[in-house]
Structure 1
Amino acid sequence: MSALVAWNSGATTAGLLWFAASCVPNSFRMMLCRLPETTDPAAVDRRLRLHSAAALSSGLVWAFIPTLCAGYTSPQTLFYLIVVSGITAGAVTHGFAYARIPTGFITPPLLSAAGCLFYAGGFDRVCLGATVVLYLAALIRACREGEGLMRETSRLKNEATFLATSLEGAHDAATEIAEEMTRRASRDALTGLLNRSGFLEEAERRAAIAQSPLSLLLLDLDGFKAVNDTYGHKAGDNVLIEVARRLRLTLPSSFAVARLGGDEFAVLFEMGLVDVNPTLLAHELIAAITIPFAAFDAGRIGVSIGVHVSTAPAIDEMLISADAALYAAKVAGRNRCYVFDAELAHHIAMRRDIERDLGKALAEGGLEVWYQPVMVDGGARFGGFEALARWRHPRHGWIAPPDLIASASLAGFGEQLLRFILSDVCVTILAMREIGLGGARVAMNVSPREMSQIAVDELVLKDLKARGVPPSMLEIEITEETALDIQAVRGKLAALSEAGVSVAIDDFGVGYSSLGALRRLRVDRVKIDRIFVEGVSRSTENRSLVLAILSLAGPLGFEVVAEGIEHEDDLETMRELGCKAFQGYLIARPMPRNEALRWARAHANAMPARPAPRR
């Protein structure tokens, strides 16, 4: 427009030259604006200097506007002053972020205008020139304030961005830590499988959304304690790690697999989602785990598995049922699985009722102690009793002594039951002395839990002394499981033995008793379990085992009693093998005290006084 006005006023040549000169810096500035963006501080600084120089060169071109209007004295002066004022104000508005660029552009044309007005003279022109100078100062001040505000805004924005980034990073770190803590809280550190807490949480989640029955398998390693004792805990840890690896390789990834603690593992899956039979899967896991470990003898590590399938899954109930099935599998032997069935369900219900009602029965005298005779000298004469606790439950009838003792132990009534049986036994022993049976013994069972947790020796010896009962007439029966934990029971049994109380191992042959345990515990009597006695007349294997036990009796100095004698042919076979003491229904069933005493007196055959047990 300035060039057009110059042409119209007759300054065509000057207007064209000025227009051409102004296009050069403008073209350079346009080129700078189209360069690719950069975040390199040095490059940004160089570009800003180039922009400032280009703006100054453009401003210098505009400083020659007076050549088009006779030094702002021609009639076109008003037009050019308005244009210069407009473009300088626009430059300041557009370039507020960096003051050097607009300042470099506006200063030359405004100083040129003011100078020309001052030179032309006259009151109006001088005042107008002064106004232009004030206008320039105001624009420069506005440029600097604009840049200051922009810098402050940028600083605050950068700080906010940095703070937001820091907060985001802190949140991500906190989330990662929380996830790691959750993972560690739900995972077993040794095997990487779910731990008990993580498994229960996962099981509850699956039970809540299950559309088909859930199957739970509980696994317990066979022979793991022997590995720990023989090879050390490091080897035991390696076994657990290898078992976990084999489970992961055998099972689909969708199954929940956990190490519940010790050498116990669990597997849970929804049957409708996979075509897997739980029993077949259990046998497949047994086959995988029983593959020989490189560091151990073949067959040293095995596994027992309890299986439970539930159509209305309640995890606590499933665990109880699977645990009962696991116990049944262990009783059956190594590398077995057992599926929870109606019989086990009834057994669990019965045990719950026993545990619930036992305390009341003990307090109200609802329990009885019956006595089963033991015959010695080949079955020719009476040799003593075994005391058996009995209870007629109002719902389940007579409770078998093993179930009663186990339930009492689990319910916390073990010591109370032990005291009750001991009290009754003491009364029976005193009655036996009165009728001339002072050479016989009365045996009472002590469970593994009570043997390890209660000061049985102090309790028994104190009661015997208070009642005036000779220790030689009492026998304490322990299981092979108790005998294995020699460190926990040896001192107690030694104290009892020193006082004259006999020690017997009950159900011998089904556990893992060693010759060393028999020797160190100074056992007086070993009772062969009924599973080896029943059918011994027809089983070569059972006869061989009985002969092996009998062959140890002499060197180790203990008496052997055959339990579970119910058939005449088994009795005769045991006699032929050399066994001289028997107990079982063929001999006599358990009886109440008075009836048992009459029976014993009738079968005493003027029994001579019995020597004190071997010490």
Structure 2
Amino acid sequence: MRGTVLAAIPVNMLLGLASILVAYRSGHGALGAAWFAASTCVNLLRIVLCRIPCLGLALTADMTPSLAATAARSVDRHLRVCTLAAFLSGLVWACQPLLSAGYTSPETLFYLTITCGVTAGAVTHGIAYARIPIAFIALPLLSVSVCLTYAGDFDRNCLAACVVLYLVALTHTAFRSQAVFREASRLKNEAHALARSRAEAHASASALVDEMRWRATHDDLTGLLNRAGFLQAAESRLHSGTLSLLLLDLDGFKFVNDVYGHKAGDRVLVEVARRLRDALPENGLAARLGGDEFAVLYDPATSGLAHDVMAANFITAVAHPFDGFDAGRLGVSIGVHAGPEPSLTEMLSCADEALYAAKAGGRNRFRVFDAGLREGLQMRRDLERDLSQALVENAPRVWFQPIYAADGHTLVGLEALIRWEHPRLGWIAPPDLIAAAAMAGLTESLLRYILEQVCAMLEILRSRGLDGVRVAMNVSPREMAQVPVDEIVIERLGLLDLPPTMLEIEITEETALDIGAVQGKLQALSRAGIRITLDDFGIGYSSLSSLRQLKADRIKIDRSFVTGLGTCDDKRGLVLAVLGLGRLLGLDVVAEGVESVDDLHILQAMGCPFLQGYYLGRPMPVEAMEDTLLVTRIAAA
């Protein structure tokens, strides 16, 4: 509406100027000047109304209903005022007959033409809102009709009727034009709204795709790359230079989660990620691989920082105190791989091997993957590859080491020890064998394999009437946590009709670190009559409460406290303390590592009830143990 009015007013003023010139020529200059002044004032008023701010023009789709209603009322008021201004302009034009003696002067044809032109132009321009052009044209055309009728002759009467008909036609045209304009506007606005909606939907979909792509490659908590994102980004750089890969694992993070809660642990991870970003060289990659494990990949040549310097920087950054935690509670161990490898997977494997070695050396350390670690890694891979077939072929053997009473001659038990002579690598240490089984997914298979040979020894003992000799079977913390040891052992003993009281399960103090995961299994074994022995006592993490929670019946003093007992007063004091603890809690105590006659005599003097060691008897295969049973004195059942 504003645009059409502003377009029509210049034409209105030009026609008014022409009218005043004709009036001046006809001797009505003063009257024409007054008429033109009035017309100009009204036109200026209309221009001002079309320029002043209107609240309704600020209407947006996200307005509240009450504000939208207020804006709509503002638009209605503005339209009414503009309609009134158009009516005033039409009133001025209705006074034009005064300039031509009521359309009886010789200038009548000019003024009639001007009036028809200005009214037709108003309707032509006023297509947006019909009331404004109608308010303008009604009085001028009615004024023409009345004056022509008043003149009285036939021609003028006919012309007056035509003017009225002209007024009706213009009115009808104004409403039709308004309807067509509104329909076109509606369609245009709907098209714009649809286009805007599609654009917004596309932008929203694009943003969602970008977010999903980001989430697929980044860690939500820290904002670093996740494992998938790190592997993807690292693969593209693998052949761009001599890269260094650092794997970082926080020391003491479990303590933070246990003592301060997981929210505090999350804050620590976020802060560690920030510190890694700050210390990261330009164009380096940092990722959170999972849990409290992070990875960094960078090019030492372009950054000017050697891998040992970078590892030291990360250790220093993480060691800086955290808000809310005691200084020194948190640290980081780092495994470094700094050589060419055929694949990223191989680099990660090598760095992980170095990380494992770093953690074994203590906290806040880094270890670079070297030839020694490569040899160990290759050995473990060979073990993982060959172990499955070895179990099928019964290559690993279970040997048995005797346990004697205090006199050193009465056999009271046997400890089952797994042995495997690899055809290329030679004898494999039990910890390496258990680790290889875990990596190869053979933990349960190895447990069942050992159990079968232990049960075979129980059969031998029972067949000879040696029910009082117990066989101890070692179960690692990993096996105890991951495998249903209680169900497997109890079920197998039941199928073979073997008395559970002849079997002992030996666990290490490390098992006590996760009592919640194993306590139910140990209780089930204990209820079935199977004894629980805590091995390597004194070098780990056990407390007095954990001895009861683990349902321990027997503790074994670690060999490091027993071997060379006669040459160290501190060892004697520790052994006496453990013996006293055993008597106090009603636990059997076994001293393992008796390597000399002096060790034996000192332990006997201390009153140690059970003894085990190379001096008394070495581990031996089943065949040799059967021969030993024939000549060894056996404790009463």
* TM-score normalised by the chain length of structure 1: 0.76
Residue of 503, 526, 533 corresponding to 2:532:
503
Q: Which residue of 1 aligns with 2:592?
A: 562
Question: 1:312-391 counterparts in 2 under 5 A?
Answer: 323-333=352-362, 337-374=366-403, 377=406, 384-391=413-420
**Aligned letter for 1:288?**
H
Matched, 1:62 2:89: no
| Superposed CA offset, 1:506-556 (max 9, x none) | 233342112233345454543344555678788776665445434434334
Q: CA RMSD in A?
A: 4.7
Residue of 293, 313, 330 corresponding to 2:325:
293
**Aligned CA distance change for structure 1 residues 361 and 609 (closer, same or farther; 3 Å):** closer
**Aligned CA distance change for structure 1 residues 466 and 376 (closer, same or farther; 3 Å):** same
Q: Which residue of 1 aligns with 2:447?
A: 418
- Mapped to 1, the partners of 2:531 and 2:138 lie a distance apart of 120
- Mapped to 2, the partners of 1:539 and 1:504 lie a distance apart of 26
**Aligned letter for 2:52?**
E
- Mapped to 1, the partners of 2:561 and 2:365 lie a distance apart of 20
Matched, 1:236 2:261: yes
Residue of 475, 480, 498 corresponding to 2:504:
475
- How far does residue 282 in structure 1 lie from its aligned partner after superposition? 4.8
CA contact (8 A) 1:305 1:336 kept: yes
Q: Which 5+ residue runs of structure 2 have no aligned equivalent?
A: 1-17, 56-73, 281-285
| Superposed CA offset, 1:134-160 (max 9, x none) | 222212222232233344445555666
Moved more, 433-442 or 13-22: 433-442
- How far does residue 325 in structure 1 lie from its aligned partner after superposition? 4.5
CA contact (8 A) 2:130 2:178 kept: yes
- Secondary structure of 1:64's counterpart equals helix
Q: Which residue of 1 aligns with 2:231?
A: 204
Residue of 307, 317, 323 corresponding to 2:335:
307
- Secondary structure of 2:634's counterpart equals coil
Residue of 268, 272, 281 corresponding to 1:247:
272
CA contact (8 A) 1:203 1:268 kept: no
- Secondary structure of 2:434's counterpart equals helix
**Aligned CA distance change for structure 1 residues 447 and 397 (closer, same or farther; 3 Å):** same
- Mapped to 2, the partners of 1:254 and 1:61 lie a distance apart of 88
Residue of 263, 266, 269 corresponding to 2:294:
266
CA contact (8 A) 1:59 1:104 kept: no
- Secondary structure of 2:507's counterpart equals strand
Residue of 22, 28, 45 corresponding to 2:36:
22
- How far does residue 479 in structure 1 lie from its aligned partner after superposition? 1.8
Matched, 1:222 2:236: no
Residue of 268, 274, 281 corresponding to 2:313:
281
CA contact (8 A) 1:2 1:15 kept: no
Q: Which residue of 1 aligns with 2:611?
A: 581
**Aligned CA distance change for structure 1 residues 393 and 129 (closer, same or farther; 3 Å):** farther
- Mapped to 2, the partners of 1:463 and 1:201 lie a distance apart of 43
- How far does residue 90 in structure 1 lie from its aligned partner after superposition? 1.9
Q: Which residue of 1 aligns with 2:53?
A: 38
- How far does residue 92 in structure 1 lie from its aligned partner after superposition? 1.9
- Mapped to 2, the partners of 1:149 and 1:568 lie a distance apart of 118
Q: Which residue of 1 aligns with 2:119?
A: 88
Question: 1:77-156 counterparts in 2 under 5 A?
Answer: 77-120=108-151, 124-154=155-185
Q: Which 5+ residue runs of structure 1 have no aligned equivalent?
A: none
- Secondary structure of 1:59's counterpart equals helix
- How far does residue 113 in structure 1 lie from its aligned partner after superposition? 3.6
Q: Which residue of 2 aligns with 1:445?
A: 474
Moved more, 130-139 or 97-106: 97-106
- Secondary structure of 2:536's counterpart equals strand
**Aligned pairs, how many?**
585
CA contact (8 A) 1:389 1:421 kept: yes
**Aligned CA distance change for structure 1 residues 278 and 133 (closer, same or farther; 3 Å):** same
**Aligned letter for 1:99?**
A
CA contact (8 A) 2:336 2:366 kept: no
**Aligned letter for 2:272?**
L
Matched, 1:610 2:635: yes
- Mapped to 2, the partners of 1:80 and 1:48 lie a distance apart of 26
CA contact (8 A) 2:249 2:334 kept: yes
**Aligned CA distance change for structure 1 residues 97 and 313 (closer, same or farther; 3 Å):** farther
**Aligned letter for 1:281?**
N
- How far does residue 268 in structure 1 lie from its aligned partner after superposition? 3.4
